[in-house]
């Protein structure tokens, strides 16, 4: 745990902390603080300037540096040497998490010093600091994780560079405004009712940032383990989904559901299960497009499963598959709960909707996999995305334009699929997609 003895951290420090940079950073922050001191209350005082600079320099710019550092490693061809090194997964995680953005952290120290010198010590001043620190770790870990995931999808391909950079920019642009708004905007005031407890919004944001930090660092650690050739099943991913289920339950129990109009009619337990099923389905879609659909690995998984080596097969299971299995379980649980807790017709409608959503998940999964069951997988996901756009938007759009609204709704199940009858055309689509994927599977070279 000694950071100074962490080879990865030291290497980054050697590369990033040059004498010129060590002098320039405090000089620039000092100049900005001077300007701030002159403007004073118009910008919220030096305290606010210190915190804002920390968010800008350490949280956001640091996230970019973290992503770039790992990306450079992958492109330069030094990654294999690291994978062969004697460093453990945790040592590597820590070294990269703190090492990649070490220069941003160096600047952040001056910002924090400015904040500490000008803020009155109280929970109200410590809380945003902790939120910003947690957000920094969470975002940095997420950037490193997204770079690794992008690389794993197409290893040894230079195309991972723009993709990883794209994800870097995307995350920064999505997260940055949200973070600013949560910390300083109108969202930072008020309360949240969660599991029947009234929690100050600022405290809740801190809790979310801390949880995000824990899970993103855990995710990075697990990705590092995979890179270091450890055989890990997707159990932590399943644990993460379970955590999301529990976390989301806070909005269903001990509070009125009036402000959650989608689930207005359902009992809290049933409504919560519906959300859990949706979360698992979204996770399955996200991982389906994020992970590499390596059919050699899938074939191995099937062979291991058939030969009774279930544990080894579970180790090879992709996360999209684990998510899909959980989605099926949660949908079944929701359907059963709906039939028990809701009026008979509502229960059937809920079960039909769940079945329709699952059928669409299977249909879409079959399309994505079928297109990936080929020698050259480079454009398979893009093609699948295009076909799904046609199925979800263009085709129903055309049918709608020609006045065939009833037919159009077959491609948008949520709105109408609350009767068993509507499952028939949806299941037909799924059957066609499954036939497609099975044929492609059988056509794969031996």
Partner 1 sequence: MIRASELVYEYPGKRALDAVSFTLAAASITALVGPNGAGKTTLLRCLAGLDEPYSGTVEIAGIDVLKHPRDAHRHIGYLPDDFGLYAELSVRRCLLYAGRARGLADATLDARVDEVAAQLEIGDKLADKAGSLSRGQRQRLAIAQSIIHRPSVLLLDEPASGLDPESRAALSGLMRKLRGEGMTLVVSSHILAELEEYCTGMLVLQQARIVEHRLIEQADAAAVRQVRLRLAQHSEALADVLGGLPLSELQIDGSVANFDYAGDDAALAGLLATLVNAGLPVCELQIEHASLQDQYLLAVDVNRGGRA
Question: How many angstroms separate the CA atoms of 333 and 109, rounded?
Answer: 49
Question: How many angstroms separate the CA atoms of 316 and 303, rounded?
Answer: 11
One of 8, 342, 364, 381 touching partner 1 (CB under 8 A) = 8
Question: 280 with 288: CB under 8 angstroms?
Answer: no
| CB-based contacts of 219, cutoff 8 Å, min separation 6 | 141, 142, 145, 236, 240
Quickly count helices (H) and strands (E) in the chain. 21, 2
Q: Is residue 442 a contact residue for partner 1 (CB under 8 A)?
A: no
Question: How many angstroms separate the CA atoms of 362 and 343, rounded?
Answer: 28
Query: What is residue 219's DSSP assignment?
Result: H
Nearer to partner 1, 14 or 402 (CB): 14
Residues 51-80 that bind partner 1 (CB under 8 A): 76-80
Nearer to partner 1, 84 or 432 (CB): 84
Instruction: Count residues binding partner 1 (CB under 8 A).
Output: 32
Residues 366-395 that bind partner 1 (CB under 8 A): 374-375, 377
List Cα–Cα distances, 368 to 62, 128, 291, 315, 436, in angstroms.
Answer: 35, 43, 11, 22, 11
| CB-based contacts of 397, cutoff 8 Å, min separation 6 | 408
One of 2, 38, 81, 198 touching partner 1 (CB under 8 A) = 81
One of 204, 251, 285, 295 touching partner 1 (CB under 8 A) = 295
One of 7, 26, 233, 385 touching partner 1 (CB under 8 A) = 7
Nearer to partner 1, 125 or 374 (CB): 374
Min. distance of Cβ 20 from partner 1 in angstroms? Answer: 13
Question: How many angstroms separate the CA atoms of 50 and 30, rounded?
Answer: 10
Q: What are the structure tokens assigned to 427, written together?
A: 């299941």
Q: Is residue 296 a contact residue for partner 1 (CB under 8 A)?
A: yes
Characterize 74-91 residue by residue with b for buried, 16 or more Cβ atoms within 10 angstroms of its Cβ, and e for exposed. Answer: bbeeebeebeeeebebeb
One of 165, 187, 265, 300 touching partner 1 (CB under 8 A) = 300
Nearer to partner 1, 125 or 154 (CB): 154
Nearer to partner 1, 3 or 339 (CB): 3
Min. distance of Cβ 108 from partner 1 in angstroms? Answer: 23
One of 33, 57, 87, 136 touching partner 1 (CB under 8 A) = 87
Three-state SS across 319-360?
HHHHHHHHHHHHHHHHHHHHHHHCCHHHHHHHHHHHHHHHHH
Nearer to partner 1, 78 or 181 (CB): 78
Nearer to partner 1, 259 or 376 (CB): 376
Question: How many angstroms separate the CA atoms of 171 and 61, rounded?
Answer: 12
From the list 86-94, 195-203, 211-219, 264-272, the region that binds partner 1 by CB under 8 A is 86-94
List Cα–Cα distances, 80 to 75, 83, 165, 228, in angstroms.
Answer: 11, 5, 21, 9
Nearer to partner 1, 403 or 445 (CB): 445
Nearer to partner 1, 187 or 299 (CB): 299
From the list 81-89, 177-185, 340-348, 413-421, the region that binds partner 1 by CB under 8 A is 81-89
Min. distance of Cβ 446 from partner 1 in angstroms? Answer: 9
Residues 215-274 that bind partner 1 (CB under 8 A): 228-230
Nearer to partner 1, 85 or 181 (CB): 85
DSSP 266-303: S-HHHHHHHHHHHHHHHHHHHHHHHS---HHHHHHHHH
One of 14, 123, 173, 402 touching partner 1 (CB under 8 A) = 14
Nearer to partner 1, 100 or 347 (CB): 100
Residues 393-432 that bind partner 1 (CB under 8 A): none
Q: Is residue 90 a contact residue for partner 1 (CB under 8 A)?
A: no
Q: What are the structure tokens assigned to 15, written together?
A: 């590369």
Question: How many angstroms separate the CA atoms of 372 and 443, rounded?
Answer: 12
Question: Helices 45-54 and 160-184 sit at what angle, rounded to 10 degrees?
Answer: 160
Binding mask 15-34 for partner 1 (x = CB under 8 A): x-------------------
| CB-based contacts of 320, cutoff 8 Å, min separation 6 | 284, 287, 288, 291, 365
Which residues on adjacent β-strands are paired with residue 199?
192
One of 23, 27, 30, 88 touching partner 1 (CB under 8 A) = 88
- Tell me which residues touch partner 1 (CB under 8 A): 5, 7-8, 10-11, 14-15, 76-88, 228-230, 294-296, 300, 374-375, 377, 444-445
């Amino acid at each position: 745990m000694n950071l100074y003895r962490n080879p990865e951290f030291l290497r980054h420090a050697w590369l990033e902390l040059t004498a010129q940079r060590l002098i320039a950073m405090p000089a620039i922050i000092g100049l900005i603080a001077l300007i701030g001191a002159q403007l004073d209350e118009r910008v919220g005082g030096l305290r606010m300037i210190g915190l804002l600079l920390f968010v800008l320099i350490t949280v956001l710019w640091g996230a970019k540096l973290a992503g770039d550092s790992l990306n450079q490693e992958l492109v330069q061809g030094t990654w294999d040497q690291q994978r062969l090194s004697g460093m453990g997964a945790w040592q590597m995680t820590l070294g990269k998490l703190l090492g990649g953005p070490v220069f941003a952290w160096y600047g952040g120290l001056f910002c924090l010093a400015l904040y500490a010198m000008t803020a009155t010590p109280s929970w109200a001043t410590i809380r945003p600091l902790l939120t910003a620190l947690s957000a920094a770790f969470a975002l940095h870990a997420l950037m490193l994780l997204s770079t690794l995931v992008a690389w794993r999808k197409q290893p040894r391909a230079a195309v991972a560079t723009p993709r990883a950079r794209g994800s870097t920019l995307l995350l920064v642009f999505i997260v940055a405004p949200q973070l600013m708004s949560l910390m300083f905007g109108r969202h930072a005031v008020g309360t949240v009712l969660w599991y029947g407890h009234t929690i100050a919004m600022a405290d809740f944001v801190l809790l979310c940032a801390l949880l995000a930090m824990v899970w993103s660092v855990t995710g990075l650690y697990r990705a590092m383990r995979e890179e270091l050739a450890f055989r890990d099943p997707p159990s932590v991913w399943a644990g993460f989904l379970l955590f999301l289920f529990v976390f989301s339950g806070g909005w269903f129990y001990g509070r009125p559901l009036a402000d959650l109009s989608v689930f207005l009619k359902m009992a809290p337990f049933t409504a919560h299960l519906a959300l859990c099923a949706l979360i698992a389905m979204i996770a399955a879609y996200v991982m389906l497009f994020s992970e590499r659909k390596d059919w050699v690995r899938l074939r191995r998984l099937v062979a291991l499963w058939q030969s009774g080596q279930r544990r080894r097969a579970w180790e090879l299971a992709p996360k999209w598959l684990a998510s899909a299995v959980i989605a099926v379980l949660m949908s079944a649980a929701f359907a059963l709960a709906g039939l028990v807790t809701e009026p008979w017709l509502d229960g059937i409608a809920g079960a039909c909707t769940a079945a329709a959503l699952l059928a669409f998940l299977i249909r879409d999964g079959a399309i994505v996999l079928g297109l990936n069951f080929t020698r050259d997988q480079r454009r398979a996901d893009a093609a699948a995305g295009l076909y799904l756009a046609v199925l979800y938007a263009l085709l129903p759009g055309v049918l709608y334009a020609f006045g065939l609204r009833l037919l159009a709704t077959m491609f948008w199940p949520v709105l109408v699929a609350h009767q068993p009858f509507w499952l028939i055309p949806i299941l037909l689509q799924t059957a066609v997609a499954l036939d497609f994927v099975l044929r492609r599977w059988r056509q794969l070279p031996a």
